[in-house]
Structure 1
Amino acid sequence: MTNVAVVYYSSTGNVHKMAEAAAAEAEKAGAAVRLRRVAELAPQSAIDRNEAWAAHVAATRDVPEATLEDLDWADAVLFGTPTRFGLPAAQLKQFLDTTGGLWFQGKLVNKVVSSFTSSNNTHAGQESTILALNNTFYHWGAVIVPAGFADPVQFERANGNPYGASSVTDNVPGNVHPDNLAAIAYQTRRVVEIAKVLGAALPA
């Protein structure tokens, strides 16, 4: 069985909604799945000043926190993050910065990886956020799987990002367009399919 980890950061729920869709689709594709959120780094005072942020933190308290063991276990990992000035959120970046030990042992080589993101408005850094994440994966020696234009869903009105599924939320919590959910589902199926093929081809 292919092991898939969906590792994400979400402040008000948009990326979380996409992550849940990815986890559900991976299970449908026959994978063993772990849905994991990375640790929150923002001070509680900042969270409390944003009603939607505080509500989301409370609502997802029971989602297990990501650990390095989740990456070691996984054959494929989908990473989700909101875009922050065209870059991944600090919370996800901090988690990635703890992977040096796994990297040094060669345990991240040939992991199948793919990313998705969300921003408040169009042209707000979705593509650059995913490209920035890829810099880490090059160092890992991972196999990066982009969404591409390999499925008709990518040509739907709200899609069109070949780097990875992305959502434009208009600053509304949990506002993920159905086209974007279909896009992350397609991207997940693609990741699982390639992970299965790669796993069968590589020596144990």
Structure 2
Amino acid sequence: MNARNARIAVIHYSATGTVHRLAEAVADGAVDAGAEVRLLRVAELAPDEAVDSNPQWRAHLDATAHLPAAGHDDLRWANGYAFGTPTRFGNVSSQLRQFLDTTAGLWQAGELADKAATGFTASYEEHGGQESTLLSLYNTFFHWGSVVVPTGYVDYDVVSAAGGNPYGTSLAQSRAEGDPEHVKRVLAAARYQGARLASFAGALADARQD
């Protein structure tokens, strides 16, 4: 599949940087496949006192303040979406959920339909709700009429080495802290996921032009 016509919006929320690392890898994979990519963040909703209570949270928020905030024009522009979120009790973070909840007008206008979409996530523990978070995120894509593109086991070696999540790339921070080689394998899976998304987005764009 040719990704030359793919326009990918990688939209994510990351509190302390783990999901951001995945977002960068997904974006790199899509670029390597030939796609045009926008790496975007959603707004922080937590009050300053909550952010300041965790030095890593404040440091990451300040370090990524230069990233453009995602908007509806980005969704119109893109023909492929990659959404990233930390797990929140096995569900999507409120920050990303709030952004998704603003898309009703685009959905009603059919501007989100027939576009490729995928998700990625991170939690502290390996069984911290990664799969349920992605499945919850994908419910939104079903309502949009998007074409969900999971990692699957298409490239079994890459996905298995990263932990074997067929729904989307996921990283457990507890393991990442002591296993840098595992982090490399997960980032490789995220790059693969970005390239796979770009291929589908390009193919769907070509089909719509025919």
Q: TM-score range by the shorter chain?
A: over 0.9
Residue 172 of structure 1: CA displacement?
A: 7.0
Matching residue's letter, 1:199: A
- Which residue does 2:72 correspond to in 1? 68
Distance 1:171 1:82 in 2: 15
Matching residue's letter, 2:201: A
Matching residue's letter, 2:37: V
- Which residue does 1:153 correspond to in 2? 158
- Residues 153 and 159 in structure 1, CA contact (< 8 A), matched pair in contact too: no
Matching residue's letter, 2:47: P
Pair 1:186 & 2:192 matched:
yes
- Which residue does 1:39 correspond to in 2? 43
- Equivalent position SS for 1:170: helix
Identity of aligned residues (%): 50
- Which residue does 2:30 correspond to in 1? 26
- Which residue does 2:20 correspond to in 1? 16
Query: Which segment drifts farther, 26-35 or 11-20?
Result: 26-35
Distance 1:58 1:180 in 2: 25
Distance 1:2 1:150 in 2: 20
- Equivalent position SS for 1:87: coil
Pair 1:101 & 2:85 matched:
no
Q: Which residue among 106, 125, 134 is the counterpart of 1:130?
A: 134
* TM-score computed with the length of structure 2 as normaliser: 0.92
- Residues 76 and 111 in structure 2, CA contact (< 8 A), matched pair in contact too: yes
Distance 1:199 1:47 in 2: 40
Q: Any stretches of 5+ residues in structure 2 without a counterpart?
A: none
Residue 142 of structure 1: CA displacement?
A: 0.4
Higher RCO structure (Cα 8 Å, ≥6 apart): 2
- Equivalent position SS for 1:177: helix
Residue 203 of structure 1: CA displacement?
A: 3.8
Distance 2:206 2:108 in 1: 24
Instruction: Encode CA deviations 1:124-163: one digit per residue, 9 max, x unaligned.
Output: 100000000011111100000010001120121x420000
Query: Which segment drifts farther, 111-120 or 21-30?
Result: 21-30
- Residues 159 and 183 in structure 1, CA contact (< 8 A), matched pair in contact too: no
- Residues 115 and 204 in structure 2, CA contact (< 8 A), matched pair in contact too: no
Instruction: Encode CA deviations 1:48-87: one digit per residue, 9 max, x unaligned.
Output: 0000000001100101111011111001010000000000
* TM-score computed with the length of structure 1 as normaliser: 0.95
Q: Which residue among 190, 193, 196 is the counterpart of 2:202?
A: 196
Q: Which residue among 81, 102, 120 is the counterpart of 1:77?
A: 81
Residue 202 of structure 1: CA displacement?
A: 2.1
Query: Which segment drifts farther, 36-45 or 16-25?
Result: 16-25
Say what the alpha-carbon RMSD is for the aligned residues.
1.5
Matching residue's letter, 2:40: R
Residue 198 of structure 1: CA displacement?
A: 1.5
Q: Which runs of 4+ in 1 moved over 6 A?
A: none
Instruction: Encode CA deviations 1:2-53: one digit per residue, 9 max, x unaligned.
Output: 1100000000000001101111221111111100000000000000000000
- Residues 22 and 184 in structure 1, CA contact (< 8 A), matched pair in contact too: yes
Distance 1:146 1:22 in 2: 13
Q: Which structure has the highest helix share of the two?
A: 2
Q: Which residue among 168, 172, 176 is the counterpart of 1:164?
A: 168
